[in-house]
Amino acid sequence: MIAIVDYGAGNLASVRKAFQAVAADVRIVRDVADLGLPSGIVVPGVGHFGATSALGPAWREAIAGHASAGLPLLGICLGMQWLFEASDEAPGCPGLGLLTGTCFRLAPPASGVRLKVPHVGWNQFERLRPSAALEDVADGAHAYFTHSYAAPVGAETSAVTTHGQPFAAVVERRAVWGTQFHPEKSGGVGLGILRNFVALTSRAGQR
């Protein structure tokens, strides 16, 4: 079973429907006491980074422990940003710290070109390194984004997108994955990534 965490900031119905479309057994979990021992955890999210403060110490311990055990964890949009150490959007609100870096507000390039923020709509991502998350997903594919802040490009970045400046579109550190875009709104490309995550949870359960 894959647990989708409900902390009041996620597009839960669409995420659940997308997972069901790839034949995944999913359950929305609102209380950490009901989390149990899922084969995978999904942290979705839209909106302000401060909303992640609802994921208090018990949630942080449970999710970090799940990841430390080598079990699959997927962060989507705001949920991916929360996997990092912090965000400039809410300086007093720490991230989970599983990935290195601080999320930043998208800004126009030094040339002064006008830039629409939030970044909303379809954009292309470029693969930087081999990625289990992007297996069978074409390089240069397009996905649906809606965000004003983004994660930095680093060693854990599997794919990058540019909107004013480059940012991490897909991150991957062993079984910890994240997408800045919304796979549940990204058609066949997004379903392919979710299918890969479901396959990862199946392999983890066989260990």
Report the catalytic residues: 77, 182, 184
CB neighbourhood size of 8 (10 A): 12
For residue 167, CA distances in Å to 39, 47, 97, 101 come to 29, 18, 18, 12
Phi, psi of 165 (to 5 degrees): -150, 160
97 CB neighbour count, 10 Å cutoff: 13
Count the Cβ atoms, other than its own, within 10 Å of residue 194: 26
Euclidean distance between CA atoms 197 and 138, whole angstroms: 16
